[in-house]
Amino acid sequence: MADYDLIIVGGGPAGLTAAIYAKRYMINLLVLTREVGGMAANAHKICNFPTYEEITGLEFMTKMQRQVENMGVPIEYQEVLEITKLPDNSGFSLITANKDYTAKKIIYTGGTEHQELNIAGEHELFGHGVSYCATCDAAFFKNKTVAVVGGSDAALTAALLLSEYAINVYIIYRKDKFMRAEPAWISLIEKSPKITTLFNEELISINGTKKVESITLKSGKVMQLDGVFIEIGSRPNIRLLQKLGIMHNNNYILTNQKGQTNISGFYAAGDVTNNDLKQIVTAASQGAVAAFTIYQELKKES
């Protein structure tokens, strides 16, 4: 017999919402996650989630975590290293560094991780001026000059946050205009006296010995600055699913409207799926739908 009816892998908005719904359905469940919050916890401001005109990502996810804990949902802070089908097809085996688990059903909400530029100086100067998290590191750049690479909502909100600390903020974007960012963020960028956007430019190298000192652009221009924040998108975390044979498109897990994958009993929700709109509200809704469908399945199987 499996240890749990349901194990949720991941502690971001999709995973914690799934936990809230599964607990209300009285499902025997466990949440396994390396940390709570996911990339949502790093959001500078959340302005488009119902009930909150403005809230930081960390505060938002802390509230969600508190709700889950107050409901009595067990959360174990373990990184799942491997997921396989049980030999009798009755469920799944989950392996962590410290313990093994079994579950009849899984909701995988592994989320995404930051994409890297893979240019000279990026890895060598990481933590010494190179960052992938403005929320984490903006305060270290008070009265300094920094650059943000990218043109998405994440890049623009990072630039806005950095402008509260830095003297000058440059946005470096390879296209001739912002293509993916919300108009509201673009308007704020254009109004900020501290932010300058360099369109049709690309970062070639990050220069410095012990810390960031300058950057070299594709145009040949060298800019003296103190920090580089890389916000060029993200890639889905599906490495540990290789043995399962989960169907995906460009590494985003393919699911139907119920969160089901091509593997019976294995569900996915949140940014790791092929859902076009990568937002907290859609991740939460996917988690809720998956939990409800599993509840219905378990009732039929009992």
Q: Are 130 and 226 part of one and the same domain? A: yes
Q: pLDDT (tens digit, 0 to 9) for every residue of the chain, 302 residues total? A: 679 999 999 999 999 999 999 999 999 999 999 999 988 988 878 888 999 898 998 999 999 999 999 999 999 999 999 999 999 888 999 999 999 999 999 999 999 988 899 999 999 999 999 999 898 889 999 999 999 999 999 999 999 999 999 999 999 999 999 988 999 999 999 999 999 999 999 999 999 999 999 999 999 999 999 999 999 988 899 988 988 999 999 899 999 999 999 999 999 999 999 998 889 999 999 999 999 999 999 999 98
Indicate which CATH number applies to the domain containing 24: 3.50.50.60
Q: Are 213 and 247 part of one and the same domain? A: no
Q: Are 88 and 170 part of one and the same domain? A: no
Q: What's the total number of domains in the chain? A: 2
Task: Extract the tokens encoding 59.
Answer: 């505060």
Q: Are 243 and 297 part of one and the same domain? A: yes
| Domain end marker among 201, 230, 259 | 230
- Are 32 and 94 in contact by the 8 Å Cβ rule? The answer is yes
Domain range enclosing 126: 116-230
What is the structure's pLDDT at 11? 97
The amino acid at residue 114 is H
Phi, psi dihedral angles at 248 (to 5 degrees): -150, 165
Contacts of 218 (CB under 8 A, 6+ apart): 201, 202, 203, 204
Q: Are 221 and 264 part of one and the same domain? A: no
Relative to beta strand 100-108, strand 4-9 is parallel
Q: Are 99 and 238 part of one and the same domain? A: yes
User: What does the CA dihedral 53, 57, 59, 63 come to, rounded to 10 degrees?
Assistant: 90
Task: Extract the tokens encoding 166.
Answer: 């830095």
Largest CA distance in the chain: 67
Q: Are 20 and 84 part of one and the same domain? A: yes
| Domain end marker among 230, 262, 289 | 230
What is the structure's pLDDT at 101? 97
Contacts of 66 (CB under 8 A, 6+ apart): none
What is the structure's pLDDT at 44? 78
Alpha-carbon gap, residue 174 to 234, rounded angstroms: 17
Beta strands across the sheet bearing 195-198: 130-131, 227-230, 145-149, 168-172, 195-198
What is the structure's pLDDT at 1? 63
Q: Are 43 and 10 part of one and the same domain? A: yes
* Radius of gyration for the alpha carbons in the chain, expressed in angstroms and rounded: 21
Please state the pTM of the whole predicted model: 0.83
- Are 276 and 260 in contact by the 8 Å Cβ rule? The answer is no
Q: Which H or E run contains 24?
A: helix 13-24
- Are 148 and 158 in contact by the 8 Å Cβ rule? The answer is yes
Alpha-carbon gap, residue 67 to 65, rounded angstroms: 5
Q: Are 49 and 85 part of one and the same domain? A: yes
| Domain end marker among 195, 230, 265 | 230
What is the structure's pLDDT at 38? 87
Q: Are 273 and 255 part of one and the same domain? A: yes
